[in-house]
Amino acid sequence: MESKVYLTGAGPGDIELLTVKALKVIQTADVIIYDKLANPEILKEAKKDVETIFVGKEKGFHRVPQDEINEIIYQCALKYKNVVRLKGGDPFVFGRGGEEALYLKERGIKFEIIPGVTSAISVPAYAGIPVTNRGITPSFRVVTGHRKSSENIADINWKSFIEDETIVFLMGLHNISLIVTKLLEVGKSKDYPCAIISNGTTKKQKVITGTLSDIVDKSKDAVSPSIIIIGEVVNLREQLRWFD
């Protein structure tokens, strides 16, 4: 039996943002290894006899270490023909998809990458915030707001952020105070627009807007998963809001 692992992006939350290709492999999967950020409703599209393995983080339980997840995927590939590793957003955007692919490559397991709609652009869009807009910003940057224990986001080259660039922080809610401090230190105005979007693209979506001067206090009303978007494009929300 020749097996194949599909490292599959589940999108940001709205099940209708799942790609056609992702849906196809989910419907034929023998086993689905999924994390918490993948909408659980997606599993209803799978075969009745599919095995499902949860490797995400639940309240009161520790996350399965990445090394163990890699091995779980590998062992499933030895047992099943069609293996789907379902990851929230896109597997190659802070999703450890590269690490999992390398682990499989080293062990001679065939794999395929199925990109997903990343929350970095889709969640702001559902909040009525374009990450780029002509005349406002020429670029946007996606930055991790959380790094492994041996590293710290304080080590990011904050001085490299250009003045009119949109900055999107993923997984940064618990570090928002540090993020704001660093941006102010490199010269961002305290009046610079910010937004926090929780549970983006879902019925639970909540958007908090403010500036660098008050967004930390306002963040107390935000919940995970959240993204933080910083830039003048946030001011377009009032004109472009549609989802909520």
Cis bond leading into 225, ω under 30°? yes
Which of 57, 79, 110, 204 is the catalytic position? 57
Structure token pair of residue 74: 């590998």
Taking the CA atoms of 113, 114, 117 and 119 in sequence, report the sign of the dihedral they define: negative
Which member of 35, 87, 90, 188 is catalytic?
A: 35
Q: Please give the structure tokens belonging to residue 4.
A: 């194949």
Joined tokens for residue 92: 């190659």
Alpha carbon of residue 142 to chain centroid: 10
14, 87, 90, 171: the catalytic one is 171
* Residue 44 burial class via C-beta count within 10 angstroms: exposed 0-12, middle 13-18, buried 19 and up: exposed
Residue type, 141: R
Radius of gyration, CA atoms only, the chain = 19
Is 57 one of the annotated active-site residues of the chain? yes
Q: Nearest to residue 199, comparing CAs of 191, 208, 190?
A: 208
Could you please report the per-residue DSSP string of 41-71?
GGGGGS-TT-EEEE-S--TTSPPPPHHHHHH
Residue 171 annotated among the catalytic residues of the structure = yes
90 is catalytic: no
E strands along the chain, which residues?
Answer: 4-9, 31-34, 51-54, 82-87, 110-114, 140-144, 166-170, 193-198, 206-211, 226-230
Give bridge partners of residue 208 from the DSSP assignment: 196
**Catalytic residue positions, numbered:** 35, 57, 171
